[in-house]
Amino acid sequence: MTSITHAFRNDFNQRVHEVNVYFEFLSHLKIKAVLEYETSLGQQRTNVQGELVPILKANGFLLLYNLVESSCREAFRAIYDTVNSEQMHFENAAETIQKLWIKQIIGGKTKPENTLLTASAMIDFILTQQIIEFDEKYVKRQLLQGFRGNIDAKGIRGLAAEYGFSSTLPTGREQLGDNLLEIKDRRQDLAHGLKTFSECGRKFTEDEMMTYKTNIVEYLDAILTNIETFLNQKHYKKTTLTP
């Protein structure tokens, strides 16, 4: 495991730990809906009832969706960082990486005269065997556009195809990620005010929330493992490199 893949894996593990702490708290609400806390007056107790429980469950959807976006964003950044660190020529990069680089160079240059100049510059760049590199502004823009509140398993499969890593899940675990659409939709409801927190959380039991959490953590672990394989086995390079 490289230092780059080690970094995004550590980030994922820390975020999962935080999510686990919250969901452990949610699981206890089913058993004993009483909160104990310390104040300046000493230990206090209060019953968790009414709208608070569904609000807390709805907040779980925000945490899960945040886990998805943040973990994927860091892993995708690792792809750009690894390619930059390799100091590759264009012809030695995998086709998917070549397309990403061309996308960066073309940008919003859609006018015919701009397109012609850009194409000429790219040809010169390739013929003179310069090093391809993704600049920070482009990387940030791609990561923001790719993960802005609307990512689900279908979207991740599309991004996997675009970047070149596998989105295949372990045998017998192909259903992992199925709940991501539900989590994304609930996150959208809350973020855009389509539903209140209590409305959103009321229809879900504590057991269902725990199932969602387990499913998403396992799904992300599988996807991040695929990205680690992509980077560690250097699949961002052509299989047969040009001498």
| pLDDT tens track for 49-67 | 667 888 999 999 999 999 9
Q: CB–CB of 212/179 below 8 Å? A: yes
What's residue 113's pLDDT?
Answer: 59
In a domain, 140, yes or no: yes
Enclosing domain of residue 142: 3-86+136-232
The verdict on residue 123 lying in a domain is: no
Contact 201, 53 (CB under 8 A): yes
pLDDT of residue 48: 64
Is the residue at 159 inside a domain? yes
**Does residue 15 have a pLDDT over 60?**
yes
Instruction: Kindly state the percentage of the chain with pLDDT values over 90.
Output: 61
- Cα–Cα distance, 157 to 68 (Å, whole number): 14
Q: What is the pLDDT of residues 98-111, one digit of tens each?
A: 999 988 888 755 56
Q: Which DSSP letter does residue 240 get?
A: S
The per-residue pLDDT for range 202-234, each reduced to its tens digit, is 999 989 999 999 999 999 999 999 999 999 999
- CA separation for the pair 118, 155 (Å, rounded): 30
Rg (CA), the chain: 22
Task: Indicate whether 63 belongs to any domain.
Answer: yes
Is the residue at 242 inside a domain?
no
Window from 51-65, 111-125, 158-172 with minimum mean pLDDT: 111-125
> How many percent of the chain have pLDDT more than 70?
89
Residue labelled with tokens 């919003």: 108
Question: What's residue 236's pLDDT?
Answer: 96
Residue 214 within any structural domain of the chain: yes
3-state secondary structure (DSSP) of residue 32:
coil
Overall number of domains in the chain: 1
Give the CA distances from residue 222 to residues 154, 173, 174, in Å, rounded to whole numbers and listed in that order.
15, 10, 10
Q: Are 91 and 242 in contact (CB under 8 A)?
A: yes
pLDDT at 14 over 90: yes
Which residue has 């996308």 as its token pair? 103
Whether 131 maps to a domain, the answer reads no
State yes or no: pLDDT of 201 exceeds 80: yes
Residue 175 lies in a domain: yes
Which pLDDT belongs to residue 190?
Answer: 95
Q: In this predicted structure, what is the pLDDT of residue 120?
A: 80
Is the pLDDT score of 243 beyond 50? Answer: no
- 83 in Cβ contact with 97 (< 8 Å): yes
Q: What SS3 class is residue 152? A: coil
Other C-beta atoms closer than 10 Å to the C-beta of 195 total 15
Q: Which amino acid is at 45?
A: R
Closest CA to 155 of 192, 191, 183: 183
